[in-house]
Amino acid sequence: MASLIKRQLIFMVLVTASLSILAQNTVPMGIHYQAVARDNYGNELVNKKISVKFSVISGDPLAAPVYQEVHQDITTSKFGVFSLVIGHGVPSLTQPCTSLSQIAWDQANHYLKVEVKFENDFMDMGTMQFLAVPYALYAQKSLEPGPEGPKGDKGEKGEPGDPATDNQTLSFDGSNLTISGASSTVNLTPLLQTLQVSNDGTGGYNLSLTRGNTINLATIEKDGDPANEIQDLTLNSNKLKITKNANATEWDLSPYLDNTDGQSLSWDPVNRILGISGSTKTISLRELESDADSSITNEIQDLQLVDNKLSITEKTGAKEVNMNTYLDNTDNQTLTFTEASNTLAVSGGNSVNLGVLRDNTDNQTLSFTETSNTLYSLA
């Protein structure tokens, strides 16, 4: 699980300041920080040891920190939550500040940079600007009472003001901030910032904010295969599961199957009506008929061959196919009989020996009677 951890795994839940006055002229130096550690599937990292580095940056969020501290071997809870107090870690800078109390909170805007180490190196989790609450660290100076000054003379009572003059409306056109009843306009364009994602040139991506810091969103592919994280769904024996995860949850889809969809179509050929079992609704297909002559048989066709011309019936002007091209004379053959061998043969084919059919009982003699001009065959 640890090898799958990615940079966006920290979701800030609560950042508050512990600035309650516990004793006269004292303010506890610390800012509560709470977050949830998650893996790249969104699952909480339960009972895992991590290290957290906090850096306070003055003026420019990209500048070097003026104060830095490290919290080692912090164990997350059973919900993946960890809680720390900024100011109670081990300082890692010797200058310019070695504690929160030395930071000049009143001199510039200040930013908090968070880095977390899950495995080997600290990873940048982003930088955010401190708002009102941390500046109460500087407000502790207001607890120091000064000498009481002399009481001044009571001034004259002024004229009552017009209560209606306070009804004003703020408007913003995307660049300028104006208020009704005033001629001045504040141009906020220099304060506007743009969020953009760009390629860092090494296969990763940077999320940057104009006039702000940059966060790297992707690290180098650890196993060298950028496609092996691509997953798909598989369905086997009605069991639905996702690939690339041996411990993925398997869903049995059998309860969503039923046999109520077994239906049969019926056809009424007389009225041309199509129906389905389990429903009273029918569909008439009569409008699909186009038999203009009321005969349901004259569309039946047949093949005919006339003078070696093949055509189809029941259509005037039907295309004819000339079959002469499919005829040839290669089948013309001649019978021959060889008396010496009693063999009957066909040209281009086989021969038959007819000797077994001959005998000598048919020997006959011809005679001719001249007076009657008659030719006789005598056995």
- Tens-digit pLDDT profile for residues 230-250: 788 888 888 888 887 888 888
Beta carbons of 100 and 67 less than 8 angstroms apart: yes
Task: State the pLDDT confidence band at 52, using cuts at 50, 70 and 90.
Answer: very high
Region class of 272: left (phi > 0), else alpha (psi between -120 and 50), else beta? left
Greater model confidence, 78 or 308: 78
> Peptide bond before 96: cis, by omega within 30 degrees of 0?
yes
pLDDT digit string (tens) for 20-45? 333 344 556 788 888 888 776 778 88
d(CA 290, CA 365): 83
What domains can be seen in the chain, in order of their start residue? 2-141 (2.60.40.10), 300-327 (no CATH)
Taking only the tens place, the pLDDT of each residue in 126-145 is 888 887 655 565 565 555 56
Residue 57 has what pLDDT? 93
DSSP state at residue 38: B
Strand partners, 353: 343
Residue-by-residue DSSP string for 59-107: SSTTSPEEEEEEEEEEEP-TTSEEEEEETSSEE---SS-SSGGGS-TTT
Better-scored residue on pLDDT, 219 or 349: 349
CB 367 within 8 A of CB 356: no
pLDDT at residue 172 greater than cutoff 60: yes
Between the alpha carbon of residue 317 and those of residues 59, 311, 312, 322, 323, the distances in Å are 95, 9, 9, 15, 18
Note the pLDDT of residue 25: 47
Q: Confirm if 125 and 10 have CB atoms less than 8 A apart.
A: yes
Give the residue-averaged pLDDT of 349-368: 67
In order of 15, 19, 30, 112, the CA distances from 133 in angstroms are 10, 8, 11, 13
> Distance between CA atoms of 39 and 6, rounded to whole angstroms?
7
Determine if the pTM surpasses 0.75.
no
Bridge partners for 70 per DSSP: 53, 90
Q: What is the mean pLDDT of residues 325-348?
A: 75
pLDDT over 50 at 163, yes or no: yes
Residue in 34, 40, 29, 35 with CA at minimum distance from that of residue 10: 35
